[in-house]
Chain A
C-alpha cells in the first residue's frame, strides 16, 4: 500500500486529524499565553510590560475568535456542533470544549477588554461621527458613566477578572492537552504531563507572539520600542521556555528510560518520519536555538539593536518550534500503528477543506482581526489613538 511501511490496521492508513487540528492547539496556545502575559501587568504588578498589556488582550481575542474555525471545518457534520452545548456527553473530554471556550470568551476576555476600554469607548462614542459613533455607542452597552469612582470600580473588577482569567487560561489550554493526554490507546499522546506541557508551551508561544507584534507594530508606527518592556518580556519568555523545555525533556527521558512496548516503534518514527519536524525543527531550531539566543541576552551586555534583532529572531524561531511541537504531537501521534508494527504517511491536501491553503488562511485571519481591533480599540498611548486627552468625560 503506498505510503505504508510494515503493518497498519486497515482502518488506520488514513489519518483522522489533519493540519487543522495542528492549528487548533497552536491558536488556543497563543490565546492562553497572550492572556497570561497581560496578567503579569495586571495581577503581578510587573509595570515594565505595561506597553504590551492591551495589545496582549486584543491578540488573545483575535486568536480566540478564530480558534474554533479549524475544528468546525474539520467536523464531518459542522451543522451538528451545537449538540455539544445541548447534549454534552459528560464522560467526554471533548464535550467541555464549547463551555470552556464560551466561558473564556464571554466570562473572561470580552469582559476584561470591555472594562479596560470602557472609558475610551465612551469618549470615542462622543468624539467620533457616523457609523463609528454608532458602533462605539453600541459598545458602551448603555454604560456612559466614566466618573473617577466608576473607573475605580472598573479597575477593581478588571483585576478580579484577570485573577479568575489566569486559571481559566490554564484551563483552556491544559484542557486541550488533556484531550490528547487522556487517549490511552495512543502511547505518543497518553501522558499526564501533556496538559502541563501544553500550558507552558502556550505561555511560550503567546509571550513570543506579543513580543514580536509589539516590536513590529511599534516599528510600523515609527515609534520608539520600549526596551525595558521588551527586555522584561524576553526574560519571561526565557524563563518559561526553560520550564517548558525541561518538561518536554523529562517526558522524553522518561520514555527512553522506561522503553515500554511502544518505544521501539516511536523511536523508529522519531528517527525517520519525524526526524526533520521533531529533532531538527522543533528541538534544535525551535527550542535550543531560541533558548541559547535568549540566554545570550541575559549574560552578555549587548547593544539595543543587537538585542532587538536577537529577540525578533528568537521570537520567530520560538513560534516555528511551537508549531512544530503541535505538528509532531497531532500528526506524529497518527503516523504509527497501534499494533506498533507499521507506519503510515500524512498527505496534506493543498486546496481541500482541510488543506494547506485553508490552514494558511486561518493563520492569517487572526492577524487581520487584530488589525481591525487595533483600529477600533487602539492599544497605544492616547496621543496615537484618536482619543483626545482633554475629551470631556461624560458623567
Chain B
C-alpha cells in the first residue's frame, strides 16, 4: 500500500494529536468493580495517630497536590484543663513534616487527621451550579474538573475546609478517596502510608469489612454532626473540643 504525499499531510496532524494519548497510556480498566456494591468511608483511629505526616506526604505525591494546598492534613490539639472549649490548634504545613515538640503546659495533646468527609448529604454537591461536583454511586464525592467553572461556591459551602482551587487547573479540588486506587482493590495512599493503622479505608456495604465490628465496639463520632451532612469519615475517641 502506498501513501501519497497528500495522504501523509492529512495523517501527520492526526497522528500528532493522537500521540499525547499514546504517551499518556490507557487508563487501567476495573472490570470487576461494581459501584453499587460499595459505600466508601474512612475510619480514623485517633489514639493511634502519632502526627508523623506520612499520610499528608503520601497524598501529595499520589495526587500531585500543589504546595500550600491540602487534600488531607493533620492538626495537633492542645486542650488545657482550664478551658476545654477553646483548644490551641496548630498544623504547620498541614503536618506534612511532622510537628515540633509540644510545650509542656499541662492538659492534653492529640493529633486529628482531616480529609474530605465524603458526606452523604454534602453541601458542596448541593451548591455546585453545574453539577461538576457529584456523589458517585459508591459514596465518594468527586469533582469533574473538565466541567467545573471555578466559581468557588463549593469551597465556601464545605463546613470542614476540605476544598481548594487548584491554581494549575483553576478548578475545585479535594480528596477523592484515591478513587483511582480503591476501584482496583487497593487502599488509599494515606491509609497505605500510615505506620500505625490510624487511617482505615472502610466499605460500609461490605459485610466482612472490619469497620462494622469497630463501629459496634467503640465510641465513634463524625466531625460537626450538627451540620447534618452525614459525614462518612468516622473518628474513634474524638474529643469534644475538635471542630
Contact B156 A185 (CB under 8 A): yes
User: In the assembled complex, how far is the CB of residue B32 from the closest CB belonging to chain A, in whole angstroms?
Assistant: 31
Chain A minimum-CB-distance residue to B241: A341
Which residues 152-180 of B have a CB within 8 angstroms of A? 152-153, 155-165, 169-171
Chain B minimum-CB-distance residue to A89: B131
> B51 an interface residue at 8 Å Cβ cutoff?
no
- A-B contacts at CB below 8 angstroms, number: 122
A340 contacts across to B, CB distance below 8 A: 243
User: In the assembled complex, how far is the CB of residue A266 from the closest CB belonging to chain B, in whole angstroms?
Assistant: 15
- Chain A interface SS verdict (over half): loop
Contact A341 B131 (CB under 8 A): no
A45 contacts across to B, CB distance below 8 A: none
A341 contacts across to B, CB distance below 8 A: 86-87, 89, 243
Are A92 and B128 also in contact (CB < 8 A) when A16-B152, A17-B156 are?
yes
B129 contacts across to A, CB distance below 8 A: 84, 88-89, 92, 94-95, 97
Are A89 and B155 also in contact (CB < 8 A) when A11-B161, A76-B149, A184-B123 are?
no
Are A338 and B159 also in contact (CB < 8 A) when A10-B73, A76-B171, A87-B131 are?
yes
Chain B minimum-CB-distance residue to A179: B153
Are A185 and B91 also in contact (CB < 8 A) when A80-B149, A83-B149 are?
no
B120 contacts across to A, CB distance below 8 A: none
User: In the assembled complex, how far is the CB of residue B116 from the closest CB belonging to chain A, in whole angstroms?
Assistant: 11
> B186 an interface residue at 8 Å Cβ cutoff?
no
Name A83's contact: one of B94, B130, B158, B171 (CB within 8 Å).
B130
Name B123's contact: one of A9, A185, A337 (CB within 8 Å).
A185
Contact B163 A11 (CB under 8 A): yes
Chain B minimum-CB-distance residue to A342: B89
State how many residues of chain A have any CB contact under 8 Å with chain B: 40
A95 contacts across to B, CB distance below 8 A: 129-130
Complex: A237 Cα to B178 Cα, angstroms: 56
Complex: A216 Cα to B114 Cα, angstroms: 56
Complex: A13 Cα to B159 Cα, angstroms: 15
> A296 an interface residue at 8 Å Cβ cutoff?
no
State how many residues of chain B have any CB contact under 8 Å with chain A: 45
> B33 an interface residue at 8 Å Cβ cutoff?
no
User: In the assembled complex, how far is the CB of residue A329 from the closest CB belonging to chain B, in whole angstroms?
Assistant: 12
Complex: A95 Cα to B153 Cα, angstroms: 11
A91 contacts across to B, CB distance below 8 A: 125-127
Chain B minimum-CB-distance residue to A95: B129
Chain B minimum-CB-distance residue to A11: B164
> B150 an interface residue at 8 Å Cβ cutoff?
yes
Can you list, as one digit per residue, whether each of B40-51 has a CB less than 8 Å from chain A (1) or not (0)? Answer: 000000000000
Name A7's contact: one of B68, B91, B130, B157 (CB within 8 Å).
B91
B156 contacts across to A, CB distance below 8 A: 16-17, 183, 185-186, 334
Contact B157 A185 (CB under 8 A): yes
User: In the assembled complex, how far is the CB of residue B133 from the closest CB belonging to chain A, in whole angstroms?
Assistant: 9
Complex: A76 Cα to B149 Cα, angstroms: 6
Contact A94 B153 (CB under 8 A): yes
Contact A17 B152 (CB under 8 A): yes
User: In the assembled complex, how far is the CB of residue B129 from the closest CB belonging to chain A, in whole angstroms?
Assistant: 4
B128 contacts across to A, CB distance below 8 A: 89, 92
Are A183 and B157 also in contact (CB < 8 A) when A11-B164, A77-B171, A84-B149 are?
yes
A88 contacts across to B, CB distance below 8 A: 129-130
Which residues 195-243 of B have a CB within 8 angstroms of A? 227, 243
User: In the assembled complex, how far is the CB of residue B15 from the closest CB belonging to chain A, in whole angstroms?
Assistant: 28
Which residues 133-152 of B have a CB within 8 angstroms of A? 147-152
Are A77 and B170 also in contact (CB < 8 A) when A11-B69, A184-B159 are?
yes
Q: A9-B162, A94-B151 are in contact. List 11 more A-B contacts (CB 8 A).
A: A9-B161, A10-B73, A11-B155, A76-B149, A77-B170, A88-B130, A93-B127, A95-B129, A183-B127, A184-B227, A340-B243
Can you name 29 A-B residue pairings with CB atoms under 8 Å? Answer: A7-B88, A7-B89, A8-B161, A9-B162, A11-B162, A11-B164, A12-B161, A14-B164, A16-B152, A75-B151, A76-B148, A76-B150, A76-B171, A77-B170, A80-B130, A80-B148, A84-B130, A89-B130, A91-B125, A92-B127, A94-B127, A95-B129, A183-B127, A183-B156, A186-B156, A334-B156, A338-B159, A340-B243, A341-B86
In the complex, the 6 A-B pairs of residues with the closest C-beta atoms, listed nearest first: A76-B150, A9-B161, A76-B170, A185-B159, A89-B131, A7-B89
